[in-house]
Amino acid sequence: EVFATGIKVIDVLMPLERGGKAGLFGGAGVGKTVLLTEMIHNMIGHQDGVSLFCGIGERCREGEELYREMQDAGVLPHMVMVFGQMNEPPGSRFRIGHAALTMAEYFRDDEHRDVLLLIDNIFRFIQAGMEVSGLMGQMPSRLGYQPTMGTELAGLEERIANTDTGAITSIQAVYVPADDFTDPAAVHTFSHLSASIVLSRKRASEGLFPAIDPLQSSSKMATPGIVGERHYALAREIRRTLAQHAELKDIIAMLGLEQLSPADRNLVARARRLERFLTQPFFTTEQFTGLPGKLVSLEHALDGCERILNDEFKDLPEAALYMIGSVAEAKAKTREKAP
């Protein structure tokens, strides 16, 4: 069963699984916590079960801000928050993930409720294990990680499972050290997940938020049997268009757009409009951007992508599709800007 988030790029290209594990991968400052907070905001209203937030080794300020936001949204009665923050000793940062999972298992097994488990940040769990391992005098393995990293991570991740009585759906932020996706911590975490959402620094620098890289991100749910033929075909066509645009970028940089064939120029225009349509204003960033947040249904998101691929908006400026909700807002935006 698909878990709708109301975020266009995730619902269209990498749908999440109800009862599955999704990871948000990215280096420092590309928007993992903002994306996680936005998902909490969008899902907590529709989530009839319990939401459980586990902060492992993150900033104390973020925990306090999240608490206030949840209080304002009126969802604290259905929420549990567990924190082992940056200033805690490594032992408590290491155990806090297991403590949160014990609570999640209680709600699932004893109260028969669905649990939405949000973890920020799995890398800090591995890091705490590394510190504990160093204190115990164990011989470090590759890049200074603890020799038991694989089993420690599996011991935590494999507890996130479904039973006949309830499901634990988990969304985890994963810090990627120095943006290196070959780092053992990132590689080990990838293998446990049903969906991987990769955040890209390049897209963030271009102002395309959420800065999700659609070509590196993937989901096991994106098959015709689960999401349906139309959705699957559209997602493939979007990926193909964006991949061809990525290949043409070097030629454009060296020779300019004019040297491309008319077909390629159309493809680039289509891809650029798609990239802008897949941005979205967030509720959690309203005070910074001044743009009201948007929640977009899957149907509206698919419809917008299909119409862009059919060149319905080729006469509109690209900027009309940037930071909007459903595609209908593009024409309204253009009319407002017209003199």
Q: Which of the residues are catalytic? A: 32, 58-59
Identify any residues that bridge with 81 across adjacent strands, giving them in sequence order: 53
> Can you state the percent helix, strand and coil of the chain, rounding each to 5?
55, 15, 35
Determine contact, residues 80/51, Cβ cutoff 8 Å.
yes
Q: Which residues contact 107 (CB under 8 A, 6 or more apart)?
A: 49, 50, 52, 113, 115, 166
Identify any residues that bridge with 115 across adjacent strands, giving them in sequence order: 50, 168
Angle among Cα 34, 249, 323 to the nearest 5 degrees reads: 35
Cα dihedral 78/40/197/147 (nearest 10): -50
| SS3 state of residue 117 | strand
- Which tokens is 251 given? 């030629």
309-325: burial string, b at 16+ Cβ within 10 Å, e else:
beeebeeeeeebbbbbb
| SS3 state of residue 160 | coil
Name which of 24, 189, 168 is nearest 103 in CA terms.
168
- Residue 123 host element (H or E): helix 122-135
